[in-house]
Amino acid sequence: MNSVTQLLIGKGVVIPCPEITWIESDINPDRIEAGSWIGPGSKISGQESLIRRGARIGTEGPAFVTDCAVGHDVVLASGSFTESVFLDGSSIGPSAQVRFGTLLDERASAAHCVGLKQTILLPYATLGSLINFCDALLAGGTGSDDHSEVGSGFIHFNFTPHGDKATPSLFGNVCDGAWLRESRVFLGGSGGVVGPVSIGFGTVLAAGSVYRKDRGPGILVYSEPLPAVARAFDPKEVRGVRARVRRNVDYMSQLAALYAFFRDARAVLVSEDALGALLNKSTLKLLVQSGQERFKQLTKLADIAVSHREGEEGRYCASLSARLSAALSALTDFEAAANAADAQARQHVLSSLRVGQTWCDAAKRLPTSSVAAGKKWLGGVVESYVNNPAVAALLGDPSS
């Protein structure tokens, strides 16, 4: 047992078997709160690690946690967890692999054997077991008995035959879903989605099929059968590049809206809580890094997309790298998009919030007028982001 472990035990962190629990010397003891619990065989490392009171790490086997921010009453049953954020009351079952850029908002959850990376679950969203759900955002639902859900055995297919992951999918959205008033999304088990797609609130994708198309709100889809086709394949010819860039920009605009939401609204709730403010800061950092990851994948797509076809798509592919370079600042500067939003609508929301509440509790108490103002506020962030001249040029006509 090293000196850091002794220090944590002395301040009230519960470590039942310190002789087989590894607390690395690079952690900051001030960021590990008394009343947290770290189970036998677990390992905590990284100077960014933060663990709050009531959190339980390694309840069903060893958990390896590196540079993660963990809120009140979070349960990480077992597995590996890296550079991710878990907000109050969220949980993940045993044998998880959670990689960088994952955010579980309050009371979001996943069962056993789940793989996540660059995954964002808004409050109450739930994943079943044996799931791979990377490069995706899931919103929808109003509470613990009415939440968006992904059935067991589901896969979000996020890697293309061309070798890129410019494939993020939106299931619901931030601008509406953040206020916990929208119909839930249901993705049936033993199935999957080929990203990037956009699925509306209230839509059900039935179990046992793989889906490739956008779907609006309130639709039940049973299957998307593919025709029996075999044709020549050239890995250097990527189809639909311009449409894929547009989907990535739409996804990134939602990240910008979520950034504004945490920077302004969620910060009010923790303004008198030092560790809560640090947890919120970790969330903002994760969202910025998520935007940078999306830009990285777009750059990879541009490098791959050497079109052999003439016409507009070919011209667009040829100009994509230069367009991305010109749009780098606009695409990754969430702060600017947040600052450009409707200040009056934002203030309407902020004036309705009270220090010390969880977001799930605060959202239930918001009057209808504040929810409407909130949607207008975050919608303005998205509009500002997409209409930035550099972003508009990225999406525009290649002949212009």
Phi-psi region of 46 (alpha: psi -120 to 50; beta: other; left: phi over 0): left
- Percent of the chain at pLDDT exceeding 70: 98
Tell me, what's the pLDDT at 398?
64
For the chain, give every domain's residue range: 3-221, 241-395
Q: What is the mean pLDDT of residues 222-245?
A: 87
Bond preceding residue 196 cis, omega within 30 of 0: yes
Tell me, what's the pLDDT at 226?
85
399 falls in which pLDDT band (50, 70, 90)? low
CA distances from 19 to 22, 23, 41, 320 (A): 8, 10, 9, 55
Q: Scanning the structure block, which residue is given the tokens 């075999």?
A: 230
Q: Is the pLDDT of residue 306 over 80?
A: no
**Residue type, position 146, single letter:** D
287 falls in which pLDDT band (50, 70, 90)? very high
**Model pTM score:** 0.96
Residue-wise pLDDT tens digits, 159-218: 988 889 999 999 999 999 999 999 999 999 999 999 999 999 999 999 999 999 999 999
Query: Percentage helix, strand, coil, to 5, in the chain?
Result: 35, 20, 45
Find, among 118, 113, 124, 91, the residue nearest to 102 by Cα. Answer: 118
Tell me, what's the pLDDT at 163?
85
Tell me, what's the pLDDT at 309?
67
Residue-wise pLDDT tens digits, 27-66: 999 999 999 999 999 999 999 999 999 999 999 999 999 9
Least confidently predicted of 192-206, 270-284, 296-310? 296-310
**Residue type, position 257, single letter:** A
Tell me, what's the pLDDT at 151?
98
Instruction: Share the mean pLDDT of the chain.
Output: 95
CA dihedral 240, 314, 245, 304 (to 10 degrees): 90
Residue-wise pLDDT tens digits, 95-134: 999 999 999 999 999 999 999 999 999 999 999 999 999 9
Least confidently predicted of 60-69, 222-231, 327-336, 370-379? 222-231
233 falls in which pLDDT band (50, 70, 90)? confident
9 falls in which pLDDT band (50, 70, 90)? very high
The set of residues, in sequence order, having a beta carbon less than 8 Å from that of 167 and lying 6+ positions away, is 135, 157, 158, 159, 160, 194, 195, 196, 244, 297
Residue-wise pLDDT tens digits, 241-261: 999 999 999 999 999 999 999
Tell me, what's the pLDDT at 235?
76
Which tokens belong to 78? 């077992």
Q: Is the pLDDT of residue 237 over 90?
A: no
CA distances from 143 to 88, 121, 170, 178, 282 (A): 14, 13, 20, 12, 25
Going by CATH, does the domain composed of 3-221 fall within 2.160.10.10? yes
d(CA 263, CA 266): 6
Helices (H), 132-213: 174-177
Residues forming beta bridges with residue 32, ordered by sequence position: 51
CA dihedral 231, 248, 113, 199 (to 10 degrees): -80
Find, among 107, 131, 108, 112, the residue nearest to 121 by Cα. Answer: 108
Q: Is the pLDDT of residue 390 over 70?
A: yes
